[in-house]
Every structure is written in structure tokens, then in C-alpha cells.
Amino acid sequence: EVQLVQSGAEVKKPGESLRISCKGSGYSFTSYWISWVRQMPGKGLEWMGRIDPSDSYTNYSPSFQGHVTISADKSISTAYLQWSSLKASDTAMYYCARHRRHYDILTWGYYYYMDVWGKGTTVTVSS
């Protein structure tokens, strides 16, 4: 069974650092990109950034560039999302999601959509 297993809930203070994880199983981890998606309390889904675990290439949403870092350790099939200095506004649920690749013969291009999601990690930042 394909699964993304995320680390447990975190409670932190403003200014602290944090790294949460997402471990893939049941598939070839390096064959699929992983994205991180934020959901603030009572709000919608926001794409933060993605990583290609095969070479650790990343790209970020402009809204999150410079505020978080995405990394991966392919030897243990795990992707990470980290903050160096948390703010109260980082309080949210964070999901990782795997990207399935779709090849389009008309454009000769690849397109990637999110097919499998982790259950989420709740991050609470409060003094």
C-alpha cells in the first residue's frame, strides 16, 4: 500500500526552530515529487513548495520562499519541512503529498498532480 506517514503534532514557541517529516512507503520514493501544503485553521489549501527526491531539486511558492526549507533524504525515503524561526502565524496543519506524473503527447510535456496525501502534522506556535 502506498503511504505517506507524517510526524506527530508539535507545540512550539515563537522563534524556535522545527523540522517535520513525511516518510514514503510502498513505492519508489525517488520516482515521485513530494509537495508540502499548508492549511490554516478553518481555511483552504495552500501549496508551499515541492522537492524531487531523486536530486533534491526544489521550487517554492513565492508566498513561502525564504520562510521554509524543504529537503529530502532518499536513503530513508523521507521528506522534510523546516523552519528556522517560527511565528504564531505558522500555526496550521501541514500536509505532504505525492505527485503522480502525467505525460501529454500533444505538448510533449509532463504534468504533475497530487495523488496520495499524508494525514497531516499539526503545528501550534504559541508563547
Partner 1 sequence: DIQMTQSPSTLSASVGDRVTITCRASQSISSWLAWYQQKPGKAPKLLIYKASSLESGVPSRFSGSGSGTEFTLTISSLQPDDFATYYCQQYNSSDWTFGQGTKVEIK
Per-residue interface string for the shown chain with partner 1, residues 74-113, x marking contact by CB under 8 A? ---------------------x-x--x-x--------xxx
* Interacting residue with partner 1 among 10, 71, 117, 124 (CB under 8 A): 117
Residues 62, 82: Cα–Cα separation, whole Å: 16
Strand partners, 95: 37
Per-residue interface string for the shown chain with partner 1, residues 31-50, x marking contact by CB under 8 A? ----x-x------xxxx--x
What H or E segment, with its residue span, contains residue 18? strand 18-25
Enumerate residues 6+ apart whose C-beta is below 8 A from 79: 21, 22, 24, 34, 36, 51, 53, 70, 71, 72, 96
* Contact positions with partner 1 (CB under 8 A) in 1-30: none
Strands 18-25 and 3-6: antiparallel
Residues 78, 104: Cα–Cα separation, whole Å: 29
Nearest approach, Cβ of 104 to partner 1 (angstroms)? Answer: 8
**Residue 62 interacts with partner 1 (CB under 8 A)?**
yes
Nearest approach, Cβ of 6 to partner 1 (angstroms)? Answer: 9
Nearest approach, Cβ of 111 to partner 1 (angstroms)? Answer: 5
Nearest approach, Cβ of 88 to partner 1 (angstroms)? Answer: 22
Chain centroid to Cα 5, Å, comes to 12
* Interacting residue with partner 1 among 9, 11, 119, 126 (CB under 8 A): 119
